[in-house]
Amino acid sequence: QDRQSGDLLVRRLSTSGQTVILASRSAASLQAQIANGSHYLWSQALLIGLAGAILTLLVYPRQSSSRRVLERALHSGQMFLLYQPVVDLQSGQCIGAEALMRWRQQDGSTLGPDVFIPLAEQLQLSDRISDCACQIIARELPALLQRVPDFHISVNVSAQELNTFAIVQRLVELRQRLRLQPSQLIAELTESSLAEAERALPVIRQLRANGISVAIDDFGTGYCSLSYLATYPFDILKIDKSFVSAAGTDSIIGPIAEHIVTLSKSLGVAALAEGIETPEQAENFRRQGVALAQGYYFGAPMPMAQLLERVQGPAQS
Ligand code: C2E
Ligand code: CA
Ligand code: CA
């Protein structure tokens, strides 16, 4: 800063010892520029802040309102279960069922789980879904257990739920309440949920230690490496319906189902073929020695009243 004028200078000493001035700027104009710049920065910061606030105001109520709607649906009885028969492929008997959730809308239409399960996961409400499913099962299953005491029931468990032991507690309570024998209650976990959850292994061990069987759902579609099969103890391998429908065709994935059956045998776990739609598919898997099957050919997901009729109907006897 030049002592006399107060201006700001950029100086360089030349080799001859003389001062060469490269630039000078009056201090007053520089201060004015700094003031201008800070005004600009402040207005930018204000604009960004305002945009953030508006976004929060727009998105948060939407999230919290879908949360309220889903929570209300969960405790006001808008959720209900359909049960899809699981058959013993060798005898053809219905030995169990998978509980599949539906959401009844106010206009009478029904929303499928493909829509609300991901929403529940996003809103961290997965445990409320399984809690609701367990409550409905506790209410509806006793009528069926009276007629078929060793009936199996499968419940779907979300990836999020494998991070705490709450699901173990919930399923143990259900098992005790219905006086189910070991392996009558089955927790279905997808392969990808095993990859996502850090605490899946201790949770699975606890489930099994408490007499709850574990099924790997949609096998072959997740990110699970084969080494996971050795890491995670489980009881049932559910062959995904995409491989079941491709089996016996000349599709590139045609032979996969057969390989999964071989794999289940070498692991010593039961295989379940999902999505069986034709008698040919049923016969194909029966011939391969697959123990269990599920699919529209044996029955689409149905209300408990219909399942009751089915297990005591003429087909069963
Ligand atoms: P998932 O566990 O693989 O259930 C089987 C799905 O395949 C069901 O669809 C069922 O209706 C359908 N399906 C059964 N047989 C056949 C068939 O022969 N052909 C064809 N094309 N499809 C068949 P849904 O009921 O729409 O369930 C979709 C998924 O939603 C389930 O897949 C499961 O991952 C999830 N989900 C359902 N209920 C619950 C629940 O209570 N909790 C959780 N966490 N997930 C659930
Ligand atoms: Ca399932
Ligand atoms: Ca499945």
Q: Using the mean position of ligand 3's atoms as its centre, give its distance from the Cα of residue 240 in Å.
A: 6
Predicted structure pTM score: 0.82
Q: Give the model's confidence band at 313: pLDDT under 50 very low, under 70 low, under 90 confident, else very high.
A: low
**Using CA atoms, how far apart are residues 70 and 59, in angstroms rounded to an integer?**
17
Is the predicted pLDDT of residue 315 greater than 70, yes or no? no
Interaxial angle between packed helices 304-312 and 126-147, expressed in degrees from 0 to 180 and rounded to the nearest 10: 30
Residues of the chain with pLDDT > 70, as a percent, come to 96
**Maximum pairwise Cα distance, the chain:** 115
Q: Give the model's confidence band at 5: pLDDT under 50 very low, under 70 low, under 90 confident, else very high.
A: confident
Q: Is the separation of the CB atoms in 126 and 135 below 8 Å? A: no
Per-residue pLDDT averaged across 129-157, rounded? 97
**Using CA atoms, how far apart are residues 286 and 296, in angstroms rounded to an integer?**
16
Residue 224's pLDDT is: 65
Nearest Cα residue to 298 out of 96, 12, 44: 96
Higher pLDDT residue, 299 or 13? 299
Nearest Cα residue to 300 out of 48, 112, 167: 112
Residue 56's pLDDT is: 78
Q: Using the mean position of ligand 1's atoms as its centre, give its distance from the Cα of residue 132 in Å.
A: 17
Q: Using the mean position of ligand 3's atoms as its centre, give its distance from the Cα of residue 300 in Å.
A: 13
Per-residue pLDDT averaged across 196-207, rounded? 90
| For the CA of 189, the nearest ligand | 2
Higher pLDDT residue, 33 or 62? 33
Give residue 275's region: left, alpha or beta (phi > 0; psi -120 to 50).
left
**Using CA atoms, how far apart are residues 42 and 315, in angstroms rounded to an integer?**
78
Average pLDDT, the chain: 91
Residue 62's pLDDT is: 66
* Residue 141, number of CB atoms within 10 A of its CB: 23
| For the CA of 293, the nearest ligand | 1
Q: Is the separation of the CB atoms in 96 and 154 below 8 Å? A: yes
Query: Helical H runs in 23-78?
Result: 27-75
Q: Give the model's confidence band at 316: pLDDT under 50 very low, under 70 low, under 90 confident, else very high.
A: very low
Interaxial angle between packed helices 126-147 and 113-122, expressed in degrees from 0 to 180 and rounded to the nearest 10: 130
Question: Is the beta carbon of 258 within 6 A of some atom in ligand 1?
Answer: no
From 156, 189, 278, give the residue whose CB has the most ligand 1 atoms within 8 Å, as the site to mutate: 156
Is the predicted pLDDT of residue 74 greater than 60, yes or no? yes
Q: Give the model's confidence band at 46: pLDDT under 50 very low, under 70 low, under 90 confident, else very high.
A: very high
Is the predicted pLDDT of residue 279 greater than 50, yes or no? yes
Q: Give the model's confidence band at 63: pLDDT under 50 very low, under 70 low, under 90 confident, else very high.
A: low
Is the predicted pLDDT of residue 317 greater than 50, yes or no? no
Question: Is the beta carbon of 275 within 6 A of some atom in ligand 1?
Answer: yes
Nearest Cα residue to 27 out of 1, 57, 46: 1
Question: Is the beta carbon of 233 within 6 A of some atom in ligand 1?
Answer: no
Per-residue pLDDT averaged across 185-207, rounded? 90
* Residue whose CA lies nearest to ligand 1 atom number 11: 301
Closest atom of ligand 1 relative to the 157 alpha carbon? 44
Question: Is the beta carbon of 295 within 6 A of some atom in ligand 1?
Answer: yes
Burial class of residue 136 in the structure, from the number of CB atoms within 10 Å of its CB (0-12 exposed, 13-18 middle, 19+ buried): middle
Question: Is the beta carbon of 222 within 6 A of some atom in ligand 1?
Answer: no
Question: Is the beta carbon of 96 within 6 A of some atom in ligand 1?
Answer: no
Closest atom of ligand 1 relative to the 301 alpha carbon? 11
Is the predicted pLDDT of residue 175 greater than 90, yes or no? yes
Evaluate the CA torsion angle 165, 171, 175, 181 in order and state its sign. negative
Residue 16's pLDDT is: 74
Evaluate the CA torsion angle 162, 164, 165, 167 in order and state its sign. negative
For residue 101, give every residue at least 6 positions away whose Cβ sits within 8 Å of its Cβ, in sequence order, or none.
79, 80, 81, 82, 113, 116, 117, 129, 132, 133, 156
Is the predicted pLDDT of residue 311 greater than 80, yes or no? yes
Closest atom of ligand 1 relative to the 238 alpha carbon? 3
Q: Using the mean position of ligand 3's atoms as its centre, give its distance from the Cα of residue 188 in Å.
A: 8
Q: Is the separation of the CB atoms in 198 and 176 below 8 Å? A: no
Is the predicted pLDDT of residue 136 greater than 70, yes or no? yes
* Residue whose CA lies nearest to ligand 1 atom number 8: 100
Residue 314's pLDDT is: 53
Is the predicted pLDDT of residue 192 greater than 90, yes or no? no
Residue 312's pLDDT is: 79
Per-residue pLDDT averaged across 214-238, rounded? 87
Question: Is the beta carbon of 85 within 6 A of some atom in ligand 1?
Answer: no
For residue 71, give every residue at least 6 positions away whose Cβ sits within 8 Å of its Cβ, in sequence order, or none.
125, 128
